[in-house]
Chains A and B, each alone.
Chain A
């Protein structure tokens, strides 16, 4: 949501009749500082507790274990694939939602965000009911092509994409709505084809929004647990991603679970920081 608001160009941000102090005032309204600090502490302190309680001494040994390496590799591969899948399908969907005018568009838009509110485990069951061995589509996949998706790595990618795609679609749609269409109009009057305009004008214009959406999407996919374990199951090296490894470790060895969570945390921070510049550009344009 944040990106949606911030990528909007300034012209319709403020009505002309805005409060007089608004334009000139520079400092932060003091009333906002306290809740802002509280919010930051609220988000940060639990993570700090993880770091403080982490078994630092046994950490290297844990991290070098085969299962962790396997789970981490699988998580990264699956989250990247899911993000790619979301980009390939989600950007066109966002474009349709933002630009096309058809009856029921509002309903479609609402339906797209359903996976955001659906408990992920229910999402996993829904995927099983559609793509499972006895699922609506899955039974034909099995009968005609001998393909069964559950308990396979592609199933992990599908589960993660299902849960993460709305993040990308919403971010990109917001960017598209905020983008100045006059550039596209200008390109059209200069004789550019629609697909050329999309590739050379629209896409670069909304690139910050896309990368912000992709980062959110990747982060959500990396942490995905419920839909994955329900639809794809949990088998070392095939479907057992880091969050599932963490969950299982929590059953028997909570310190190990903390260590594994730290790894996941570390990876996501590295990814977020490495994409930070693009993210910030996204907020500034």
Chain B
């Protein structure tokens, strides 16, 4: 306990006080920390991982990015992971229910935006356009978090969308927009930012109805429990939060 606490504090200190090499180098837990994280965290967690490694020279971070549900499935089936960061509390709950994680903490929030190809060929401007049968529309399948959020938004706005396809994850929906195959899709704001200007985004007020919480937890079967705790602490630290904010996430 005390070692873990020291380690976490060390990391926090290192982060806040722009690195104390002696502290980080000697007290940080050694080895590898394996982080399973939702696909939408790919860019920001890679940055956080690099900064975390710089602050903890004896630690290497390994990531496994994927759909939250698939990752949860892998963890429950015994995959050797230290940390799980999910794109939805429901998915995290399945891991908690299986006894594999305790006390998840929300570290970021994400909201939906309308993504359209650069020239906006469908002249989409608002959420109500998703009910236009002449437009080609992609939504996430309701089984995945972005689809569940979209369904919540539409029911709150009392709009019945007429999609042409239900994509298996948010990146697939976004790539259909990038390729110009659909006129519009509902994706997360962070995904549009990550695409680097290849799609345009339109914010809409109804998005407030379905803000997505991202929980993170150290896993109870973590092979490297101390390192898991310090990584979670780092994600919640001002340093980690800054990276997430830059990527377009809201603070919890």
Please name all residues of chain A whose beta carbon is closer than 8 Å to the beta carbon of B180 when the two chains form the complex. 132-134
A230 to B168, CA, bound (A): 9
A240 to B166, CA, bound (A): 9
| B59 proximal to A (CB < 8 A) | no
Interface residues of B in 161-190 (CB under 8 A from A): 163-168, 172, 175-176, 179-181
| A252 proximal to B (CB < 8 A) | yes
A266 to B164, CA, bound (A): 30
A132 to B138, CA, bound (A): 14
Q: Is B168 touching A244 in the complex (CB atoms < 8 A)?
A: yes
From residue B8, how far is it (CB to closest CB) to chain A in Å? 33
| B27 proximal to A (CB < 8 A) | no
A239 to B166, CA, bound (A): 10
Contact count A vs B, C-beta below 8 Å = 63
A151 to B164, CA, bound (A): 6
Q: Is A233 touching B141 in the complex (CB atoms < 8 A)?
A: no
Quick check: which of B16-24, B66-74, B151-159, B200-208 contacts chain A, the rest being far away?
Answer: B66-74
Please name all residues of chain A whose beta carbon is closer than 8 Å to the beta carbon of B136 when the two chains form the complex. 133, 148, 151
| A150 proximal to B (CB < 8 A) | yes
Q: Is A128 touching B163 in the complex (CB atoms < 8 A)?
A: no
Q: Tally chain A residues at the interface, Cβ within 8 Å.
A: 26
Q: Is A233 touching B176 in the complex (CB atoms < 8 A)?
A: yes
| B247 proximal to A (CB < 8 A) | no
| A140 proximal to B (CB < 8 A) | no
Contact A235 B67, CB 8 Å, known A151-B136, A251-B141, A254-B73: no
CB nearest neighbor in A for B180: A134
From residue A62, how far is it (CB to closest CB) to chain B in Å? 15
A254 to B69, CA, bound (A): 10
| B144 proximal to A (CB < 8 A) | yes
| A250 proximal to B (CB < 8 A) | yes
Chain A residues within 8 Å of B, Cβ to Cβ: 125, 128-129, 132-134, 148, 150-151, 229-230, 232-236, 239-240, 244, 247-252, 254
Q: Is A234 touching B181 in the complex (CB atoms < 8 A)?
A: no
Please name all residues of chain A whose beta carbon is closer than 8 Å to the beta carbon of B164 when the two chains form the complex. 151, 233, 235
| B143 proximal to A (CB < 8 A) | yes
From residue B97, how far is it (CB to closest CB) to chain A in Å? 13
From residue B69, how far is it (CB to closest CB) to chain A in Å? 4
From residue B79, how far is it (CB to closest CB) to chain A in Å? 15
From residue B36, how far is it (CB to closest CB) to chain A in Å? 16
Interface residues of B in 37-81 (CB under 8 A from A): 67, 69-70, 73
Please name all residues of chain A whose beta carbon is closer than 8 Å to the beta carbon of B175 when the two chains form the complex. 125
Q: Is A235 touching B163 in the complex (CB atoms < 8 A)?
A: yes
CB nearest neighbor in A for B176: A233
Q: Is B179 touching A239 in the complex (CB atoms < 8 A)?
A: no
27 contacts between A and B (CB under 8 A): A125-B175, A128-B181, A129-B179, A132-B179, A148-B136, A150-B181, A151-B164, A151-B181, A229-B172, A233-B167, A233-B176, A234-B141, A234-B165, A234-B167, A234-B168, A235-B163, A235-B164, A235-B166, A239-B165, A248-B141, A248-B143, A248-B166, A249-B143, A251-B69, A251-B70, A251-B141, A251-B144
A251 to B164, CA, bound (A): 21
Q: Is B181 touching A132 in the complex (CB atoms < 8 A)?
A: yes
A254 to B67, CA, bound (A): 14
Please name all residues of chain B whose beta carbon is closer than 8 Å to the beta carbon of A229 when the two chains form the complex. 167-168, 172
Please name all residues of chain A whose beta carbon is closer than 8 Å to the beta carbon of B138 when the two chains form the complex. 233
A249 to B164, CA, bound (A): 19
Please name all residues of chain B whose beta carbon is closer than 8 Å to the beta carbon of A150 when the two chains form the complex. 181
Please name all residues of chain A whose beta carbon is closer than 8 Å to the beta carbon of B143 when the two chains form the complex. 248-249, 251-252
Q: Is B165 touching A248 in the complex (CB atoms < 8 A)?
A: no
A200 to B144, CA, bound (A): 54
Q: Is A234 touching B73 in the complex (CB atoms < 8 A)?
A: no
The 5 closest A-B pairs by CB, nearest first: A233-B165, A251-B143, A134-B180, A151-B164, A251-B69
Q: Is B67 touching A251 in the complex (CB atoms < 8 A)?
A: yes
**Which of B67, B144, B167, B179 contacts A128, CB < 8 Å?**
B179
CB nearest neighbor in B for A229: B168
19 extra A-B contacts, CB within 8 A, seeds A150-B181, A233-B164, A252-B143: A125-B175, A125-B179, A128-B179, A133-B180, A134-B180, A151-B136, A233-B138, A234-B141, A234-B165, A235-B164, A235-B165, A235-B166, A239-B165, A247-B168, A248-B141, A248-B168, A251-B67, A251-B141, A251-B143
CB nearest neighbor in B for A129: B179
A232 to B166, CA, bound (A): 10
A229 to B173, CA, bound (A): 11
Please name all residues of chain A whose beta carbon is closer than 8 Å to the beta carbon of B166 when the two chains form the complex. 233-236, 240, 248
